[in-house]
């Protein structure tokens, strides 16, 4: 007698255009929040790369006859204080932040992971001092230090990347250290040690692949914070610099006109920032839930 | 109540770190700060003026060790130097003027958010999977993701500019004389509403999320079953048994979030033109008023460390086990 389970369940016929089907197969099995977040992120990446081919106006062209015009049929999102089309600027405005935030996050997470691996793996004095130091840095108002450093060395894309990376490294190190300490007790680490592997081989070839989920979640979460922080720094004039069409810069420029009832520059650019942060958070949350359901 | 020496050691190292950063970072600047000031003077930079500035703002020509000794002895006398922007005033004077407003704003926002966030989190955990939980909990995640700049601008535009419910700037009506009377307090309260509402969403979201997950794990504990078995009402079990114990991670989280709260207060104060430390830091960084920025870093470090210490103490109040361990 055959068991019912041996019969494969009837497969639903694939619906939709071939291209759509292919896109769906890429996302198959991923949580919906990851799909929505990735699509939103992809939209902004596409805007940064190819946006200038599609936008209705030159994002940098000034028009002194159409300064701060409210949204209408010609300018869907209105124009800014120099008569530049807000919609066109928003589409290409992600260029700098999409370069600066991921690089800063990657650098910070890489440095933090190495520090965390070393501190977590070695017991004794190294860890005792390192862990205390990380605790100390947690209780430190980084925003003031970041402001101070950026004023001192002057804001530019490179300095923002460096400062954010340095600020993130200890936070990442803390999480990675905790994950390493948990892994260190497992049998495979003892086995590797008995097999004569060196400390660095165990750290980077044995433990690192086993904590990659932790690092991945850390990477995506920190990326969200990086978007958030860099937008704020640009608003303060300490982040991305003009003439970039950056959203944070645009909000800072439009902010002065808000009290006069000219809302469109601030509102549309703010919405763009929020969508980017939200997209990243959705992905982070989805990955977190996915990994948990796996375990 | 005793705080473990180890924690005090951590605070001491953080303070040392702030002192060292304070000394080091300005010296990364291309050119000395004094050169910048002389350049600002333009045609007024007579040799006498240059000499006066050099004498007043520290002998930069000294070897680095001598500078460090000068700096430490200055700190010990609470002398943080002279502000560049508000020239005759000292940094201590400038900071003293604005610190109170930030303390007021941040404390009000934290207390308000604790009440709202903890209650929402407790109820969401109590009825998890219910309609309340399904709405409030994802909403908290959204709240955490919105930068305070944006919440501030949205609040300013909606309630300040369009509806004209609240004043759009300053900490109180400048026509009033500050004094201990009802009108003045009313004005201070009225001016604080929008800034507090701007700082709160992030905090509420964080508190709600932490409280919910902590409460869910507490609800599985025996003493909650015991409380129910004793025949206590739902509310009594929820608040006196479960919520009280679930508060601990929320307090830890609060201590870790203080840096972010200060960050939020900086942009909030800029958006609402609120005369606190954040606005001072912003004007100082625009004017490259280095002594003020340095003083600010020290002050905020001390405030964060002080608040962490307070959380350590509160921990003991909420959790008697810790109190006994330490005694």
Is pLDDT above 90 for B109? Answer: yes
Tell me the average pLDDT across B164-183.
Answer: 75
pLDDT range class, residue A111, cuts 50, 70, 90? very high
Query: Among all residues of chain B, which has the CA nearest to that of A269?
Result: B150
Tell me which chain B residues have a C-beta less than 8 angstroms from the C-beta of A147.
266, 281, 285, 293
**Domain definitions of chain A by residue range:** 97-244
Among the ranges given (A95-99, A188-192, A254-258, B30-34), the one the predictor scored with the smallest mean pLDDT: B30-34
The pLDDT tens digits of the residues spanning A161-203 come to 999 998 889 889 988 998 998 888 888 988 888 888 888 888 8
Is pLDDT above 60 for A10? Answer: no
Tell me the average pLDDT across B201-228.
Answer: 87
Q: Does B86 touch chain A (CB under 8 A)?
A: no
Closest residue by Cα to residue B14 from A177, A141, A151: A141
For a pLDDT cut of 90, what percent of chain A falls above it? 15
Is pLDDT above 80 for B13? Answer: no
Q: Measured between alpha carbons, how far is residue A185 from residues A176, A177, B84 in Å?
A: 15, 13, 56
Most confident of B126-130, B193-197, B281-285, B286-290: B193-197
How far away is chain A from the Cα of B309, in angstroms, using its nearest Cα? 10
pLDDT at B37: 65
Mutate to test the interface with B, among A129, A130, A141 (most CBs of B within 10 A): A141
Mutate to test the interface with A, among B16, B29, B153 (most CBs of A within 10 A): B153
Residue A152 CA, distance from chain mean position: 26
Query: Among all residues of chain B, which has the CA nearest to that of A150?
Result: B285
pLDDT at A100: 94
Tell me which chain A residues have a C-beta less than 8 angstroms from the C-beta of B308.
139
pLDDT range class, residue A104, cuts 50, 70, 90? very high
pLDDT at A98: 93
Dihedral (Cα; B259, B261, B263, B269), 10-degree rounding: -150
Residue B119 CA, distance from chain mean position: 22
Taking an 8 Å cut-off on Cβ atoms, the answer to whether B266 and A259 are in contact is no
pLDDT range class, residue B95, cuts 50, 70, 90? confident
Taking an 8 Å cut-off on Cβ atoms, the answer to whether A139 and B25 are in contact is no
Among the ranges given (A3-7, A172-176, B283-287), the one the predictor scored with the smallest mean pLDDT: A3-7
The pLDDT tens digits of the residues spanning B181-200 come to 777 777 888 888 889 998 99
For a pLDDT cut of 90, what percent of chain B falls above it? 7
pLDDT range class, residue A45, cuts 50, 70, 90? very high
pLDDT at A2: 46
Tell me how many residue pairs between chain A and chain B have CB atoms under 8 A apart.
Answer: 139
Does residue B162 sit in helix, strand or coil?
A: helix
Both ends of chain A: CA-CA distance in Å? 35
The pLDDT tens digits of the residues spanning A211-240 come to 988 899 889 888 988 998 898 888 888 888
Tell me the average pLDDT across A5-17.
Answer: 52
Taking an 8 Å cut-off on Cβ atoms, the answer to whether A232 and B147 are in contact is yes
How far away is chain B from the Cα of A222, in angstroms, using its nearest Cα? 12
How far away is chain A from the Cα of B296, in angstroms, using its nearest Cα? 8
Is pLDDT above 50 for B295? Answer: yes
Give the predicted TM-score (pTM) of the model: 0.79
Q: Does B41 touch chain A (CB under 8 A)?
A: no
Tell me the average pLDDT across B112-121.
Answer: 92
For chain B, domains (ranges, CATH) are 96-323 (1.10.3720.10)
Is pLDDT above 80 for B145? Answer: no
Q: Looking at the predicted complex, does its ipTM rise above 0.95?
A: no
Tell me the average pLDDT across B149-178.
Answer: 77
Taking an 8 Å cut-off on Cβ atoms, the answer to whether A273 and B150 are in contact is yes
d(CA A206, CA A183): 10
Taking an 8 Å cut-off on Cβ atoms, the answer to whether A141 and B263 are in contact is yes
Is pLDDT above 90 for B112? Answer: yes
The pLDDT tens digits of the residues spanning B217-252 come to 888 888 888 888 888 887 888 877 888 888 888 887
How far away is chain A from the Cα of B224, in angstroms, using its nearest Cα? 27
Tell me which chain A residues have a C-beta less than 8 angstroms from the C-beta of B11.
136, 139
How far away is chain B from the Cα of A265, in angstroms, using its nearest Cα? 12
Tell me the average pLDDT across A56-67.
Answer: 81
Q: Does B144 touch chain A (CB under 8 A)?
A: yes
Is pLDDT above 90 for A101? Answer: yes
CA triple A233-A235-A241, angle to 5 deg: 75
CATH superfamily of A97-244: MetI-like (1.10.3720.10)
pLDDT at B41: 64
Dihedral (Cα; A168, A172, A173, A178), 10-degree rounding: 160
| Mean pLDDT, rounded, of chain A | 82
pLDDT range class, residue B326, cuts 50, 70, 90? very low
Taking an 8 Å cut-off on Cβ atoms, the answer to whether A132 and B9 are in contact is yes
Taking an 8 Å cut-off on Cβ atoms, the answer to whether B21 and A148 are in contact is yes
Please name the residue ranges forming H helices in A64-141. Answer: 86-92, 95-121, 125-138
pLDDT at A294: 45
For a pLDDT cut of 70, what percent of chain B falls above it? 86
pLDDT at B1: 46
pLDDT at A161: 94
Q: Measured between alpha carbons, how far is residue B244 from residues B113, B114, B124, B238, B325 in Å?
A: 17, 13, 15, 9, 19
pLDDT at B158: 79
Residue A223 CA, distance from chain mean position: 2
Tell me which chain B residues have a C-beta less than 8 angstroms from the C-beta of A134.
none
Q: Does B287 touch chain A (CB under 8 A)?
A: no
For residue A144, give the nearest of B11, B270, B300 by CB distance: B300
DSSP letter assigned to residue B43: G
Task: Tell me the β-bridge partners of A85.
Answer: A79
Query: Among all residues of chain B, which has the CA nearest to that of A266?
Result: B153
């Amino acid at each position: 007698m055959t068991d019912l389970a041996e019969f494969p369940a009837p497969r639903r016929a694939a619906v939709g255009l071939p291209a759509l089907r292919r896109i769906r197969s890429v996302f198959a099995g991923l949580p919906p929040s990851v799909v929505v977040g990735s699509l939103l992120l992809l939209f902004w990446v596409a805007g940064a790369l190819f946006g200038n081919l599609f936008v209705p106006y030159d994002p940098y062209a000034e028009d002194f006859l159409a300064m701060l015009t409210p949204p209408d049929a010609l300018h869907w999102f209105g124009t800014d204080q120099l008569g530049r089309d807000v919609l066109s600027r928003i589409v290409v405005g992600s260029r700098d932040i999409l370069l600066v935030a991921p690089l800063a996050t990657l650098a910070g997470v890489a440095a933090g992971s190495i520090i965390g691996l070393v501190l977590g793996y070695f017991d004794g004095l190294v860890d005792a001092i390192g862990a205390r130091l990380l605790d100390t840095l947690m209780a430190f108002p980084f925003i003031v230090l970041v402001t101070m450093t950026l004023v001192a060395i002057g804001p530019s894309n490179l300095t923002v990347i460096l400062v954010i990376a340095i600020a993130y490294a200890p936070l990442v190190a803390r999480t990675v250290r905790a994950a390493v300490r948990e892994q260190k007790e497992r049998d495979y680490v003892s086995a590797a040690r008995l097999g004569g592997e060196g400390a660095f081989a165990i750290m980077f070839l044995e433990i690192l692949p086993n904590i990659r989920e932790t690092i991945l979640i850390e990477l995506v979460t920190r990326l969200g914070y990086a978007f958030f922080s860099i937008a704020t720094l640009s608003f303060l004039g300490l982040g991305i610099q003009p003439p970039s069409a950056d959203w944070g810069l645009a909000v800072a420029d439009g902010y002065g006109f808000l009290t006069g009832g000219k809302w469109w520059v601030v509102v549309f650019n703010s919405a763009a920032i929020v969508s980017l942060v939200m997209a990243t958070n959705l992905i982070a949350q989805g990955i977190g839930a996915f990994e948990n359901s796996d375990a | 109540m005793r705080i473990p020496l180890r924690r005090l050691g951590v605070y001491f190292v953080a303070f040392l770190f702030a002192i060292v950063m304070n000394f080091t970072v300005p010296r990364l600047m291309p050119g000395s700060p004094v050169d910048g000031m002389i350049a600002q003077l333009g045609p007024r930079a007579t040799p006498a003026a240059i000499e006066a500035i050099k004498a007043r703002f520290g002998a930069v020509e000294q070897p680095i060790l001598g500078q460090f000794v000068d700096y430490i002895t200055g700190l010990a006398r609470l002398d943080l130097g002279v502000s560049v922007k508000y020239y005759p005033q000292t940094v201590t004077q400038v900071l003293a003027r604005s610190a109170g407003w930030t303390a007021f704003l941040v404390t009000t926002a934290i207390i308000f958010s604790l009440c709202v966030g903890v209650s929402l989190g407790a109820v969401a955990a109590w009825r998890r999977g219910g309609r309340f939980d399904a709405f409030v909990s994802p909403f908290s995640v959204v709240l955490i993701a919105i930068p305070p700049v944006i919440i501030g601008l949205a609040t300013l535009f909606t309630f300040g500019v369009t509806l004209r419910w609240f004043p759009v700037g300053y900490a109180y009506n400048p026509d009033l004389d500050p004094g201990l009377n009802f009108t003045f307090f009313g004005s201070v309260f009225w001016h604080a509403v929008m800034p507090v509402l701007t700082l709160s969403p992030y905090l509420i979201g964080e508190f709600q999320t932490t409280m919910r997950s902590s409460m869910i794990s507490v609800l599985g504990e025996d003493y909650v079953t015991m409380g129910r078995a004793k025949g206590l009402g739902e509310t009594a079990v929820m608040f006196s048994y479960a919520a009280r114990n679930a508060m601990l991670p929320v307090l830890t989280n609060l201590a870790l979030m203080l840096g972010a709260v200060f960050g939020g207060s900086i942009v909030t104060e800029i958006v609402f033109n609120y005369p606190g430390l954040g606005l001072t830091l912003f004007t100082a960084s625009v004017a490259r008023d280095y002594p003020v920025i340095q003083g600010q870093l020290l002050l905020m470090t001390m405030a964060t460390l002080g608040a962490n210490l307070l959380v350590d103490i509160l921990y003991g109040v909420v959790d008697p086990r810790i109190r006994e361990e330490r005694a």
